[in-house]
Structure 1
Amino acid sequence: MARNEDFDLPDLSGRRVAVPGGTGGVGEGVVRGYLAAGADVVVPTRSQERADEFRRLLGDAAGDRLHLVVHDYTTFAGAEQFAQEMTTRLGGVDAVVAPIGGWWAGKRLWEMDEADWNDAFVELATTHVAVMRAFVPRLADGGSYALVVGESASFPVPASGLVSMEQAALLMMSQVLHAELEGDRRAFALVLGPVRTRLAAGEADWIGADQVGAVATALTAAPEFTGRTVHLHDASDAEKALELIRTGG
C-alpha cells in the first residue's frame, strides 16, 4: 500500500483539522495525510487506552501535531463539547473530515427490528449530523467540511438496505450544506469504493486509505473546489482526482 510520503501533498502548515472517526481504517489514512501535510490534527477516541494504541500504530507519524482527545462525540451535546474543546485548544477549526461509519448486513428491510433501525440508521446519522452542526459554525473563513461515505449511498445493497439509506441521506446532507453555506465556507463529499486498510488487505486495484487522505488534503488546499461529490471507486480514480485538483480542473 502506498504511504503518504509517496504523494505530492500540499503544505497545510498551521491548518487545524478535526477527524472524527480517525482511528478507523479509512480514518487512519486521512490522519496520516494531514499530519504529513503539516496540519494539526485532532482525533477523538473513546478511551485513553484507545488513544495510546492509535499513537503507537501511527509510529513516527504521531508527532506533537497529533492531538488525541478522549471524547464521545456521538450525541449533539458530546459533539458540541468536542468542537468547543478543539476551538479552545487550537484557537479555531480550518477543516473537518468525517470518515464516521459502520456496516450492517443480513436482513431485508421488512425483516429489520427497531434495534437494527437505531443501530444502522439512527445512531450513525445522528452522529454525522451532531458533528456537522457543532463544527460548521466554527469553521474559519474558507474552511471546509468533508463527508466520507461509501458507494452504497448511490446504489441499493440487498440485505444491507439500512446502510444504503443512511449513506444516501448523508450524501444529501452534504449537498444541502453546500447550498446553505453560500460560498464563504466549503462542503464536499468523498464517495468511496472498497478501501484497502490495515483491517482489510483487499485487492490491488482497491483505493488505499492513504489515497483517501491524499485526496482529502488536496481538496482542503484548493479553495476553488466546493460542492463537489468526488467518486473514488478504485485506485485509478484517486490518481485522476488528484491530478484534476492539482490542475484546477
Structure 2
Amino acid sequence: MGAEGGDRTGTRTVGGRLAGASVLVTGGGSGIGRAVTDAYVAEGADVMVLERSPEHAAQLREDLGDAVSVIVGDATDPDALETAVSAARRPDGGLDNLTCCVGVFDYYASLKDLTASELASAAHEIWRANVLSALVAVNRAYPALRTARGSATLTLSGSAFYPEGGGVLYGSSKWALRGVIAHLAKDLAPDVRVNGVAPGGTSGTKLGGLDALAQDMTADRVPGRDERIQAGTLLQVTPLPEDHTEAYLYLADPAGARVVTGVVIKTDGGRG
C-alpha cells in the first residue's frame, strides 16, 4: 500500500479519500492492478473488478471478501465491459472512476527477428490488449462516468517515454496510450477527466507474454530484471506494485484532482 493504504483484509477506511465512490478496475487481479484495487478498497471505494483469470478472481474474493465485487471476463470484450459497468454503477447510474490495468508484454522482441506473419499476429494481439481494451472500456463506461462527472485512469509504462522496458511492440502500444489520454481528455471534457500513470519497471509484476510468439513466461521470471531496474533509476530503487498506488489514488480523487486532466504521472524512480 501507499501511505494511506492498508493490508489485504478488505476493511475500508471510514471517511477515506474515496469513501462511497464507485470504481471499476479492469485487470485488477494481479501486479499493479491488484495493488491499486487494494488501495481503492482501503480508501473507502466500492470496487468492481473485471479480471480474466479465474484464479486471480478467486484470490481477490478470498482476500477482500465483500469489500470487492469481481466479474471474470475479457477486458477487450464490449459485452463483458458493459456487464461490469452496469454492476459497478451507483444507484443514480453514475460511475466515479474507471481504472484500466490490463496489459501483455513482448519480452523485448526485436522487429529484426520476427517473420512478417509473427509481426502481424503479435502486433494485433498486443495492441488489442494494451490499447483497444482501454478504448473499449472508456467507450462503455462513458455514460456512467458522465453522470458522475467522474474520471478514467489508464496505465502506461516507462516505455511510453523511453525506448526501454520492452520491445517495439510493447513500447508502441504504451506510446499510443499517451495519445489516447491527450485526445480523450479533450474529447470527454468537461464531463470526464482522463489521466494516466506510467510506472517504471516493477518487481513482482506478472504481465504475460504474447501467444503469437509462444511466450509462456511472466515478467517477474525474467532473470536479473530487478537488478536492472534498480540500476536504471536515479533513486536506485526497485519499485513494488504498491509504490504506484498513491498516483492512482490522487487521480481518482474527485476533490484532490478536480482540475487535473490530460496528465500522465511517472512513477519510475527517475531515469538514470
Q: How high is the TM-score relative to the length of structure 2?
A: 0.74
Q: How does 1:2-151 map to 2 (within 5 A)?
A: 4-5=5-6, 10-46=16-52, 48-56=54-62, 59=63, 62-87=64-89, 91-112=93-114, 113=118, 114-139=120-145, 140-151=147-158
Query: Shift of the alpha carbon at 1:93?
Result: 1.1
Shift in alpha-carbon separation, 1:91–1:47, aligned structure 2, 3 A? farther
Counterpart for residue 245 of structure 1: none
Structure 2 stretches lacking a partner, 5+ long: 8-12, 207-219, 231-235
Q: Is the 8 A contact 1:101 1:149 kept in 2?
A: no
Tell me how far 1:102 sits from its aligned partner: 1.4
Q: 2: CA distance between counterparts of 1:159 and 1:213?
A: 22
Structure 1 length-normalised TM: 0.80
Is residue 233 from structure 1 mapped to residue 268 from structure 2 by the alignment? yes
Q: Deviations over 1:193-217 (max 9, x none)?
A: 1123375494571333223222211
Q: Which has the higher strand share?
A: 1
Distance 1:93 1:29, change over 3 A: same
Helix, strand or coil for the counterpart of 1:195? Answer: coil
Give the aligned partner of residue 168 of structure 1. 175
The amino acid across from 1:233 in the alignment is D
Q: Which moved more, 1:148-157 or 1:103-112?
A: 103-112
Residue number in structure 1 paired with 2:252: 220
Task: Report the more deviating stretch, 154-163 or 178-187.
Answer: 154-163
How far 1:50 sits from its partner (Å)? 3.6
**d(CA) in 1 for partners of 2:53 and 2:166?**
33
- Whether the 8 Å CA contact 1:136–1:145 is kept in 2: the answer is no
Q: Secondary structure at the match of 2:18?
A: coil
Letter in 1 for 2:6: E
Deviations 1:125-148 (A, max 9, x none): 222211121112320433110011
In structure 1, what residue type is equivalent to 2:159? Answer: S
Instruction: Describe the shift of the 1:12–1:20 C-alpha distance in structure 2 as closer, same or farther (beyond 3 A).
Output: same
Number of positions where the alignment pairs a residue of Structure 1 with one of Structure 2: 231
Deviation at 1:90, TM superposition (A): 8.6
| Partners of 1:194 and 1:233 within 8 A in 2 | yes
* 2:154 partner SS: strand
Larger RCO (alpha carbons 8 Å, 6+ apart) = 1
Which of 168, 183, 194 does residue 201 from structure 2 map onto?
194
Contact 1:174-1:189 within 8 A present in 2 as well: yes
